[in-house]
Amino acid sequence: RIVYCNGVFTPEEDARISIFDRGFLFGDAIYEVTAVLAGRLIDNDLHLDRLERSLAALSIPMPVSRAELEQIQAELMARNELAEGIIYLQVSRGEADRDFLYPEGLKPNFVAFTQAKKLADTPAQRNGISVDLTEDLRWARRDIKTAMLLGQVLAKRQARTDGYDDVWMVQDGLVTEGSSSTAFIITADNRVVTRPNSRSTLPGCTRHAVLRLCQTHGLRLDERAFSPAEAQAAVEAFVTSASSFVTPVVRIGDVAIGDGRPGPLTRRLQSYYIEAALGSVPA
Interface ranges with ligand PLP (CB under 6 A): 33, 177, 180-182, 202, 204-207, 240-242
Taking the complex as a whole, the smallest distance from the CB of residue 273 to ligand PLP amounts, in Å, to 11
Are 82 and 115 contacting, i.e. CB atoms less than 8 angstroms apart? no
Name the 3-class secondary structure at 69: helix
Closer to ligand PLP by CB, 56 or 78: give it. 56
How many whole angstroms from its chain centre is CA 60?
Answer: 21
Q: Which bin fits 81, alpha (ψ -120 to 50), beta or left (φ > 0)?
A: left
Query: Could you give the maximum distance between any two Cα atoms of the chain, in Å?
Result: 58
What is the Cα–Cα distance from 88 to 112, expressed in whole angstroms?
5
Closest approach, Cβ 213 to ligand PLP, in A, equals: 13
State in angstroms the smallest separation of the CB of 90 from ligand PLP: 13
Rounded Cα gap, residues 195 and 224, in angstroms: 5
| Alpha-helical runs (H) found in the chain | 22-26, 44-57, 66-79, 123-127, 150-161, 205-216, 228-232, 264-278
Measured from the CB atom, the residue of 22 and 50 that comes closer to ligand PLP is 50
Question: Which region, left, alpha or beta, applies to residue 121 given φ > 0 means left and ψ of -120 to 50 means alpha?
Answer: left
Q: DSSP secondary-structure letter at 127?
A: H
CB of 48 or CB of 96, closer to ligand PLP: 48
Report the residue number, 3 or 42, with the smaller CB distance to ligand PLP.
42
Mark whether 118 is an active-site residue: no
Q: How far is the CB of 182 from ligand PLP (least distance, A)?
A: 5
Cross-strand bridge partners of residue 89: 32, 112
Whichever of 76 and 169 has its CB closer to ligand PLP, that residue is 169
Q: Which of 107, 118, 145, 156 is catalytic?
A: 145
Question: Please, what is the minimum distance in Å from the beta carbon of residue 172 to ligand PLP?
Answer: 17
Catalytic residues: 145
